[in-house]
Structure formats: C-alpha cells, structure tokens
C-alpha cells in the first residue's frame, strides 16, 4: 500500500478522519484527566447523562444548540466564498442589543408584531456590523479575520457598557438590563421556545438558495475560482459584500432569538463564545449543511458536558482546550481528503487520475466544469 495524491478531494476520507480526530482528542483529554487523578470513565458517563439522561436535561441541551447552530450557519455562508467570519459572536451580540433596545423602549406592542420587528432590527444591525469588514475585504483585500474580530471586540465592550451603564437597572443586578417583556412562545409542555427551529429554517433556506438558484451557483463558482468568476463577468466584489452582510444578519437574528428565547435580558457577561463555538462547527463541517447540524449538536453536547463537569472540578477551560484539539485533529480530515491509499501495482495509475496531470490545485479542477458551462450559456 502507498499514499497517493487525489485531484478531487474526497468528502468521505475527510469525514472519517475528522471523526477519528475528534475521538482521539477526547481520548487525550480523558487520559490527561485520568493522569490528574480523576475518574475519566465516570466523568464520561456524567457528561452523557447531562445531555441525554432525562427529557428535561435533553431540553436544556437543545436550547443550547440554537445560538451555536445559528452562528455556525452564518460562518458557513461566508466559507462558500472562502471568507472567514470570526467576528460572528460580535454580530450576534449586536443583534441581541438591537432587540433589547426595542424591547426596553417600546411598551405595549402585541408580542408577535414586536418579535418580528425585533428580528428584523437584529438582522439589520448584525448586517451593518459586517459592513466595514466586507467593504475592506472586497475592495481593499484587508484580511477579514482581523477586521471581523476587532469589530467583535468593539461589540463586546459596547454591550458591556449598555448592560452596566446606559440600560442598566440596579434592581436586575449591576451587570444586566431589566427583563424584556417580550418572550418567544414556548412549545406546549416543554421549556423549549419556537426559536429552536430558527437554525433549521435558516439551514433549509440556505441549502435551497445555494443549490437551486443562480445567485447561489455564482457564489459557489466565485468561491472555487475567483479569477474565472471575474472573467465571465460575475460581480464578485458586490456578491462578496452581500454574502458577508447576510452572514452578519443571520448572526444578528441568532442574538435576538437567544435574547427573547433564553436570556430575557442583556447582560455584560454574554461574551462572544457562542460565535467561537459556531466557528468551530462550521470549520469542521467543511461544506456540508447536514454535517454542520450533526457536528453542531455534538459540539453543543460537549459544551453542555463542561457545565456538568464543573461540579466535578473540571473547569470550562479544559473544554476550551479540548475544542482546540478537536479543531486541530479534525483539520487532518482536510489532509486525508487530498490523499488516498493505493495498492502497489506495476502500471502507473497516474494517467487515469484526472483531466490535468500537470496538476492544477484540486478546487480549480472541480470548478473548471461549471465555469465552462457558464461561459457557454452567456455566449449562447
């Protein structure tokens, strides 16, 4: 057996290695915990129990999935253009802040009307929070990783100020605004709110738009091969700005759902962690929306376990480090997807490998077909 390069990356190899990587990361964490005198097997069952032990516990876990899946979908949208929206947590906070502004200052609206207004305001605010990074990236090629992150720091400090100062109510605590009198309706007989379905709806719409519309198709081509997209006259810069702003809007909506569904007040301690977890989920999902939802639930369960394990003396910091190792080892999936194992044979298999033995990078080869088609359509 020997290892050979693939021209077209294999999604299967990626998924298998990623799963193994995540397992290895957990195993390493277990060994470290065992070495520090903790009973890893006991902690493992505790962790599982926290998530699926009973229906109330499972409900708590499901509530946690909403912000993580929403931010993950926001990040995912940008990755279609190879743009990394790391500031997704900041856009989410701004969405929550916009919803809070309305909820605190407009009294006596019908709940339904108010929730829709809040959702729209949150989406607009989230999108606006993305404008500067989007313009800088599209027109001046300034790295969006840094700009979105700086914007997210600004958001965090701003929300801290709003919660502790401008909108603070001492009766609600020194770090929180008063409770907002508009709540997401609950599903009957549960503590789950209807916002739980928001990420699923977003995922469905996104899958449809990306796979079934010209707009989505062009976004994919631009992501795969920006030069080719520009050459056939696709408006790459404009499309990039719009995609990045939609990403911000989705994150902002996530903030509003989290606020009206779970938190009910803006707090200085909200932080941008949900964005970070969402980023990890999107990065590991590597282009599959279904994969994103599955990984999102698993990552949420891990986060939730951290909360349970805190009572056993394992801090949340260990879980953060574990996420790092999962991301690191999961990244090996990328490497594996470019390789394959071939049984040693006499004949050279290279000739059959693909259309371009000269070796364009795989993504270019993958995009060559669709781009050619578009050119044909346009000239026809």
Count of residues near other proteins by CB under 8 A: 45
Nearest to 157 by CA among 101, 97, 67, 105: 97
C-beta closer to other proteins: residue 55 or 140:
140
CA quadruple 143, 146, 150, 151: dihedral sign: positive
Q: Whose Cβ is closer to other proteins: residue 58's or residue 332's?
A: 332
Residue 51 touching other proteins (CB under 8 A): no
* Number of Cβ atoms within 10 Å of the Cβ of 223: 22
Among 3, 35, 110, 141, binds other proteins (CB under 8 A): 141
Site string for other proteins, 86-125 (x = CB under 8 A): x---------------------------------------
Q: Is 119 or 149 the residue whose CB approaches other proteins more closely? A: 149
* Binding letters toward other proteins, positions 149-188, x by CB under 8 A: xxx-xx--xx-xx---x-----------------------
User: Could you tell me if residue 326 is left (phi over 0), alpha (psi between -120 and 50 degrees) or otherwise beta?
Assistant: alpha
For residue 5, state whether it binds other proteins (rule: CB under 8 A). yes
Enumerate residues 6+ apart whose C-beta is below 8 A from 40: 30, 31, 33, 34
- 299 alpha carbon, distance to own chain's centre: 11
Tell me the window of 116-124, 171-179, 215-223, 272-280 that interacts with other proteins (CB under 8 A): 272-280
Helix axes 55-79, 236-258, angle to 10 degrees: 160
CB 73 within 8 A of CB 292: yes
Question: Which residues would be at the binding site for other proteins (CB under 8 A)?
Answer: 5, 84, 86, 132, 136, 140-143, 145-147, 149-151, 153-154, 157-158, 160-161, 165, 276, 279-280, 283, 315, 317-325, 327-328, 331-332, 334-335, 359-361
């Amino acid at each position: 057996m020997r290892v050979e390069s693939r021209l077209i990356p294999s999604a299967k190899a990626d998924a298998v290695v990623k799963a193994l990587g995540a397992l290895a990361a957990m195993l390493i964490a277990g060994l470290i915990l065992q070495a520090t005198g903790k009973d890893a097997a006991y902690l493992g069952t505790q962790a599982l129990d926290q998530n699926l032990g009973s229906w109330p516990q499972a409900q708590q876990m499901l509530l946690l999935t909403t912000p993580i899946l929403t931010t993950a979908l926001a990040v995912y949208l940008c990755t279609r253009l190879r743009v990394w929206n790391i500031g997704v947590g900041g856009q989410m906070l701004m969405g929550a802040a916009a919803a809070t502004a309305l909820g605190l200052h407009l009294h006596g609206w019908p709940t339904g009307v108010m929730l829709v207004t809040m959702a729209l305001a949150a989406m607009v605010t989230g999108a606006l929070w993305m404008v500067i990074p989007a313009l800088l990236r599209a027109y001046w090629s300034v790295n969006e990783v840094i700009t979105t992150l700086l914007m997210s720091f600004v958001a965090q400090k701003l929300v801290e100020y709003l919660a502790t100062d401008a909108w603070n109510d001492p009766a609600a605590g020194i770090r929180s605004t008063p409770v907002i009198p508009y709540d997401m309706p609950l599903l009957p007989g549960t503590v789950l709110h209807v916002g739980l379905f928001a990420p699923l709806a977003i995922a469905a719409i996104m899958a449809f738009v990306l796979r079934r519309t010209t707009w989505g198709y062009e976004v994919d081509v631009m992501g795969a091969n920006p030069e080719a997209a520009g050459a056939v006259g696709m408006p790459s810069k404009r499309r990039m700005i719009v995609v990045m702003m939609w990403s911000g809007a989705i994150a902002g909506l996530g903030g509003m759902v989290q606020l009206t569904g779970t938190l009910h007040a803006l707090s200085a301690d909200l932080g941008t962690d949900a964005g970070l977890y969402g980023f990890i989920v999107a990065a590991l999902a590597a282009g599959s929306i279904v994969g994103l939802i599955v990984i999102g639930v698993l990552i949420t369960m891990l986060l939730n376990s951290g909360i349970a394990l805190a009572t056993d003396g394992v801090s949340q910091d260990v879980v953060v480090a574990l996420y790092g190792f999962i991301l690191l080892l999961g990244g090996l999936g990328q490497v594996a997807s470019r390789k394959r194992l071939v049984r040693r044979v006499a004949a050279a298999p290279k000739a059959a490998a693909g259309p371009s033995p000269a070796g364009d990078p795989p993504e270019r080869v993958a995009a060559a077909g669709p781009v050619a088609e578009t050119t044909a359509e346009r000239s026809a």
